[in-house]
Amino acid sequence: MASTCLFLTQFLLIFPVAMASSSPPLILSLLKSTVPNKLTFRRNVSLTVAVAVGSPPQTATMVLDTGSELSWLRCNAAVTTSASASFNPHVSITYRPITCSAPTCTTRTRDLTLPASCDKNRLCHVILSYADASSVEGTLATDGFRLGGSPVQTGAVFGCMESGSSSNPVEDARTTGLMGMNRGQLSFVSQMGFPKFSYCISPRDSPGVLILGAAELPWLPPLNYTPLVQVPPAAAALPYFDRVAYTVRLQGITVAGKLLPIPESVLEPDHTGAGQTMIDSGTQFTFLIGAAYAALRSEFLKQTAGILRPLAEPNFVFQGTMDLCFRIEMRSAAAARLPSVGLVFGGAEMKVAGEKLLYRVAGETRGPDGVYCLTFGNSDLLGVEAYVIGHHHQQDLWMEFDLAKSRVGLAEVGCDSASQRLGL
């Protein structure tokens, strides 16, 4: 594999104040950065937003992640410049570390795979671990957060992380932390009180849109909604089920309209909760449980015979999970002839077509051909017992996360056009 490369694509964030719907939207800068590496389940494609934290305010660049709950900042007491990718808690007069005897320290969250503990100063010590084997640890704390010209959100709980290990040091060097956006009580969107948020991601080097609050735009097409899967609090223990993720019910997978013969039992969580379907902006590609991936792989290979030339290298597996790859001289010419893949939910369908189906592997060539892989991976190889719908397949879709009504809405929208209509 070639050495890691980095490129940036500018996005724009429209941010209406949650409790004042009549207020004009606040426009912030949101960046999309891509850093390919060998194992990149989390944060390889990052939507980042600038946030002012503390008093006096320090600018923090936070990764927007719908798959995480607790927000955190990389903390460094030696920071003396606003250009640093770290937050200095000691210069903020509103920073308050949380003690290990405080109720917040004992709150159970999705991200805390290890229980919070006491450090030598009797402060609440937390460790967050992610599926790409990265982790961060530090002190649970509160401080004020401000986005654009919005009112300061005082007393927001976050992790002030002082150490950790990373699978993506290049990306981490550009960001101050992570903004958890799932449905957990400690997530940023829950603490800020937004009833919904939505985004539209452009597949090209052009602006996209993110709106926190209600997107009342007359030109938006009707959204197709699918309900979030709800598990009653009194239900039996489900050790592998994430109760605060944006979980939807996957009813089937199609290739060129043909429904794949996948048993219903494979598409639904089992008695342990393994096998749920989650929408995660912190993941780049889409991962399917082994049996479903095998069915998709077989049918896609069959329907593209004569269109695509298989790589025919059994030991080549992109990112450790994608083993269906091809030799292609010009992707655009082949993309128009590819069969679409549909992810069918109750009330909605996500269609993946054209260039979104194939991803070029950086630095890999075979003569005049580039190496392209199907943008669906095998979650069994990833070590994650779930279906995960990634950022790549959400491009040119208006994605709405409605927390108030427990549903996700989507519709095909040209994100470039949406940006232009909003005057961005």
Q: Tens digit of pLDDT per residue, the chain (424 long)? A: 332 232 233 344 443 333 333 443 444 434 555 432 222 223 334 667 788 999 999 999 888 889 999 999 999 876 555 545 799 999 999 999 999 888 888 766 666 655 678 888 999 999 887 766 678 899 999 999 987 667 778 899 999 998 755 545 555 566 789 999 999 989 999 998 889 988 888 887 666 787 888 888 899 999 999 999 988 776 677 888 999 999 999 999 999 999 999 999 999 999 899 999 999 988 889 999 999 999 999 999 999 999 999 999 999 999 999 999 999 986 666 788 999 999 999 999 999 999 999 999 999 999 999 999 999 999 999 888 999 999 899 999 999 999 999 999 999 999 888 878 877 6
Measured CA to CA, the distance from residue 279 to residue 23 in angstroms comes to 30
Q: What is the pLDDT of residue 329?
A: 87
Q: Is 107 left (phi over 0), alpha (psi -120 to 50) or beta?
A: beta
Whether residue 149 sits in one domain with residue 256:
no
Catalytic one among 65, 172, 242, 323?
65
Whether residue 231 sits in one domain with residue 174:
no
Q: How many domains does the chain have?
A: 2
Measured CA to CA, the distance from residue 156 to residue 402 in angstroms comes to 22
Tell me the β-bridge partners of 345. 250, 348
Whether residue 298 sits in one domain with residue 186:
no
pTM score: 0.85
At 366, which CATH number? Answer: 2.40.70.10
Angle at 324 (CA atoms; ends 321, 328), nearest 5 degrees: 130
Q: What is the pLDDT of residue 114?
A: 59
Tell me the β-bridge partners of 341. 255, 352
Using CB atoms within 10 A of its CB, is residue 21 exposed (0-12), middle (13-18) or buried (19+)? exposed
Whether residue 230 sits in one domain with residue 161:
no
* 380 tagged catalytic: no
Q: Which amino acid is located at 185 in the chain?
A: Q
- Other Cβ atoms less than 10 A from the Cβ of 340: the count is 14
Using CB atoms within 10 A of its CB, is residue 218 exposed (0-12), middle (13-18) or buried (19+)? exposed
Residue ending a domain, choose from 174, 194, 214: 194
| Backbone dihedral angles phi then psi of residue 46, each to the nearest 5 degrees | -125, 130
Q: What is the pLDDT of residue 388?
A: 96
Helix (H, G, I), strand (E, B) or coil at 160: strand
Cα-Cα-Cα-Cα dihedral sign, residues 82, 84, 88, 94: positive
Residue 355: both structure tokens together: 């260039």
Catalytic one among 132, 143, 242, 280?
280
What residues make up the domain containing 284? 224-421
Whether residue 139 sits in one domain with residue 256:
no
Whether residue 235 sits in one domain with residue 168:
no
Query: Are 390 and 287 spatial neighbours (Cβ–Cβ below 8 Å)?
Result: yes
Q: What is the pLDDT of residue 237?
A: 78
Measured CA to CA, the distance from residue 348 to residue 213 in angstroms comes to 22
The residues, ordered by sequence, that sit 6+ positions from 287 with a Cβ below 8 Å of its Cβ are 41, 293, 321, 376, 377, 378, 379, 382, 384, 386, 387, 388, 390
Q: Is residue 15 part of a domain?
A: no
Q: Is residue 79 part of a domain?
A: yes
Whether residue 230 sits in one domain with residue 176:
no
Measured CA to CA, the distance from residue 201 to residue 31 in angstroms comes to 11
pLDDT single digits (tens) 308-340: 999 999 999 999 999 999 999 866 667 889 999
Residue ending a domain, choose from 194, 213, 241: 194
Residue 53: both structure tokens together: 């934290």
**Residue tagged 């549903």 (tokens):** 407
DSSP letters, 183-249, are SSTTSHHHHHT-SEEEEEB-SSSS--EEEES----TTSPPPEEEEPP---TTSPP-TT--TTS-EE-
How far the first Cα of the chain sits from its last, in Å, is 37
Whether residue 130 sits in one domain with residue 235:
no
Q: What is the pLDDT of residue 138?
A: 93
Find the helix or strand (DSSP H, E) in which 272 lies.
none
Q: Is residue 199 part of a domain?
A: no
Measured CA to CA, the distance from residue 288 to residue 257 in angstroms comes to 18
Residue ending a domain, choose from 153, 178, 194: 194
Q: Is residue 17 part of a domain?
A: no
Whether residue 236 sits in one domain with residue 169:
no
Q: Is residue 404 part of a domain?
A: yes
* 402 tagged catalytic: no
